Amino acid sequence: MNDLITKIEIISFRSIERMTIPVKEINIFSGSNDIGKSNILKAINLFFNNQTDFLKPLKFEDDYNKVSRAKAQRSTKMKQLIKIRIYLKPPSSYKSLSGEKNLFIERQFDREGERFERYSTDDSKKKASIKRIINKVKYVYIPALKGESVLQYLLSLIGEQQLITDGDISSLNNSISNKTKDLKEILGSSGIQIGTNFGLPTLLSDFWQKLSVNTSYEQFEKLDSDIKGSNKDSKLNPSQFSISLLNRGEGIKSKYIPPLLKWLDNNDKTKEFIWGIDEPENSLEFGLSDKLARLFFNDYSCFNQIFLTSHSLAFINPPDDIRIQPKVFKIRKDEYGATQWENMHDLFKKQSKYDLYDELGILLAQKEFIEEYRSVVLEKEKLKSKIDSYTSPILIVEGKTDKWIIEKAWSVLNPGQQMPFDIYPSGLYIDVNESEGNANQTRRSIELISPMVDENKIIIGLFDNDREGNEQFKGLSKKIFENHVVSKFTRKHKSKKIYGQLLPVPNIRQSFVGEKIIQRFLEIEHYFDDATLNRFHLKGDKVAPDSSVFAIRSNHKTAFSQDGINDLNDSKFANFNILFDRLNEIINGE
């Protein structure tokens, strides 16, 4: 259940003098350091687990709010109490609570360590139902620093799920005892009078806390295939190359925590799990933080109510295309140092970016960069999905009209022959008929896909041989592609079979491609003769009054490539042979 708690009131706990927070499925608290964000999560931990920080009990002198203390000392009647009140939306199965408004249970803690409870109702039956709901909740608090003790705590919770029985452990211990009988005799003969037994922990929680979690060595397969020696028949054992999770970086540990919690929720139906996690993105770079945030928004919060603190824009500036939008709170302190909250969404509207920068420690102007980053990630995911679906070499063209023209030309010039490549129009689109690619998108596509494909996949990016096409062809990254030479129309990836290719120049259009980039005007429609271009209103203005070189009218391209092209005589496609010859040379490695 992901919306059990509807509102939280916190009184006199740590930095919080008095705060009422309306909450939803996933709630994110952000703000500068030492402002009190974590105290909200710790207050919930105190309510459910009688603990404040991770596995630490309440210490009233330290945990009582300073403003409240000052007021209590100046008043003869004010009693020093910490109060946490949880408002509930009862499950539909609790018929006795049906129709009840503002249901709550409040827990009070005094300086002597005593805990008291108050309810929104005096009806004993309803109070019992509220208590049953609360007792079913398992609130798991995870601090920002996710060290060995945090992982061992989660493993002990996993161990409670009876993955191994007491009988299984007893059987293992009997085997160990039998095999160490002689060792016990040696110890006895050495004058050690204390009885000694060797075995596993008998308590399941202890057993699981000692369990090791090993992660795979990512480069194991490469080691196994590349490292040669005289002992060529020896196989490397992957278990000997594993790395303990405890020896991994903080970022890797952070990524493990939510899946472990999800597993607990899936396997323990006796509890309603609520998560409180400080800085889930801790030690993760933005790209991984963004992926993690999407998991919280699209998966975890669909089944669990979640409370987070975060400094990352991946969390506090969520994308629009997610299943559950979080409620984001900006946490601040008032003039007395007491923690308060504001709605982050409202602050984006009414407060300047630079004020937020001072308070949050992040420049909200980065929102624009993040939206662009997310767009690139989406483009890469869609591109990889499409590329993976092709088994033949891939020709990436500037747009849909190029695809239609090339496919028609191939079918005319090579009747009955399967085209030796698949064609992918560049740009973001769902339906190819709506694609609006260009030379820039073609360049981006082959650069983006280059690290995601294996070394045997053949990919060719085809550019118009005009000024824009040449500029993007020249702009292919010099880090991964051969250097640009103005006289060469092909650039190959340095280690993979990925190519940038300018349109080859047919004899009838030699004058359209000069020695300089700014003197180049060849588009794929120029492969057709002037009569054809005139017939379909494609022949545009001359590039200069005394020149025979002319542009192509773009507003007639779609109609021509979809319909007009089907009325042409086969001879009109002859100039495409120069393109197909060049593509075949690349595919055949010539």
Summarised one tens digit per residue, pLDDT across range 40-60 is 999 999 999 999 998 899 999
Query: Region 282-288: what's the mean pLDDT?
Result: 80
The pTM score is 0.62
- State which residues form the domain around 472: 385-587
In sign, the C-alpha dihedral spanning 86, 91, 93, 97 is positive
What does the alpha-carbon distance between residue 384 and residue 454 come to, in Å, rounded to a whole number?
12
Our count of domains for the chain comes to 2
pLDDT at 430: 43
Task: Burial-class residue 77 by CB neighbours within 10 Å (0-12, 13-18, 19+).
Answer: exposed
Q: For residue 179, which of 194, 164, 199 has the smallest C-alpha distance?
A: 199
CA angle 174, 178, 184 (to 5 degrees): 115
Residue 183 lies in a domain: no
Same domain assignment for residues 404 and 345: no
Same domain assignment for residues 411 and 327: no
Same domain assignment for residues 403 and 528: yes
pLDDT at 537: 94
pLDDT at 178: 78
Q: For residue 46, which of 64, 58, 62 has the smallest C-alpha distance?
A: 58
- Compute the half-sphere exposure of residue 106: CA atoms within 13 Å on the CB side of its CA: 14
pLDDT at 187: 56
Residue 224 lies in a domain: no
What does the alpha-carbon distance between residue 521 and residue 146 come to, in Å, rounded to a whole number?
60
pLDDT at 312: 85
Residues composing the chain = 590
List, in order, residues 6 or more apart from 570 with CB less than 8 Å away: 412, 413
* pLDDT tens-digit readout, 423-477: 988 875 545 555 567 999 899 888 888 888 888 889 999 999 999 999 999 999 9
Two tokens, residue 326: 């979080």
| Residue 293 belongs to domain with CATH number | 3.40.50.300
pLDDT at 237: 80
Query: What's the mean per-residue pLDDT of the chain?
Result: 85
pLDDT at 419: 94
Residue 211 lies in a domain: no
Q: Which helix H or strand E contains 498, and what residues bound it?
A: strand 498-502
How many Cβ atoms from other residues are within 10 Å of residue 296's Cβ? Answer: 27
301 and 324 Cβ atoms separated by less than 8 Å: yes
The residue with greater pLDDT, 113 or 362, is 113
Per DSSP, the chain holds a count of helices (H) and strands (E) of: 21, 22
* pLDDT tens-digit readout, 293-307: 999 999 999 999 999
pLDDT at 373: 65
Last residue of a domain, one of 360, 393, 417: 360
Q: How confident is the model at residue 32 (pLDDT cuts 50, 70, 90)?
A: confident
Report which residue type is found at 248: R
pLDDT at 363: 43
pLDDT at 38: 95
CA angle 459, 527, 543 (to 5 degrees): 110
154 and 265 Cβ atoms separated by less than 8 Å: no
